[in-house]
Amino acid sequence: MRNTQTINSNYFIKKYRMEKLTDYFGQNIKDKKIVITGGTTGIGKAIADVLVSLGGRVLIFGRDEKDFKNAVADIQKQFPGSEVYGTPADVTKKEDIQKILEIADNELGGIDILINNAALGAPGITNESYDDYKYIIDTNITGYLAFAQEAASRMKQQKSGHIINIGSMSAESKEAKSTIYVATKSAIRGFSTSLRKELNPLGIKVSLIEPGAVTSDMQPGTNAEQEEKIEKMEMLEAYDIAMSTLFCLSQPKRCDIVTMQIRPHLQLI
């Protein structure tokens, strides 16, 4: 009787011409031109670390100049000789968006991968002023649309590319006293589905990743309290989402990860 497991294993190794899984995960990352919005802290920074480690050429930005400088310095220290570009920028400002696109075109030579990640947390609508929640909407929704549009226009010319929108399981759980955030992440869920249908025929992939609770400055509690929640499996680390992002990006051209939801084991949603 044939050993089916051995046959399948040999096929897998021969098909992908690799001896290590790192080769498989890195084949769609090495030398790729990658833009990560909100890439200086939290999930965005973790994604930048993972993709740079596999040879990606990465452009990151965030609103805070100190966070930007610290992120670039840390990446260069961890991965000497890596290519990391960017500048402090705000996704709600048209001139800042243009500044980032100029860096993408001039330094990277275009965009192969866009990680739409820049977002702000928000409470219930009764606790915010019009100006406050409009800024949050401009960040969490308009920023995603603007960068998706610009990335798609570049990807369309090369008939390839991958856009990953980082959403939230808040779009599903719809917690009380989180109405503004829920509204924005529900919008990203709908936008991602429609965008995928629009761009797939052009050779462009679109994926939505929806995390549950992830340690970040958007979460309540001190760092120690968040670490305790991680130990109790009630909260995720940013690198959990980064590795999920890598999995999405590492699929063969025929295979799309449409939606991925990742929650802490004991966060009941």
pLDDT at 21: 64
pLDDT of 251 reads: 94
Q: Measured between alpha carbons, how far is 76 from 82 in angstroms, rounded to an integer?
A: 6
Give the separation between CA 167 and CA 2, rounded to whole angstroms. 45
State which residues of the chain have pLDDT below 70: 1-22, 217-221, 269
Q: Which residues are catalytic?
A: 181
Alpha helices by DSSP H, the chain: 4-16, 21-26, 42-53, 65-78, 94-103, 130-137, 143-158, 170-173, 179-199, 223-231, 238-249
pLDDT confidence of residue 1: 42
Question: What domains sit in the chain, N to C, each tagged with a CATH number?
Answer: 16-261 (3.40.50.720)
Instruction: Give me the chain's average pLDDT, please.
Output: 90
Q: What is the residue type of 143? A: G
Model pLDDT, residue 172: 85
Q: How far is CA 57 from CA 30, 42, 112, 253, in A?
A: 8, 19, 10, 20
CA–CA distance, 182 with 176 (Å, rounded to integer): 9
- 8-state DSSP, 110: S
Handedness of CA 230, 236, 238, 240 (dihedral sign): positive
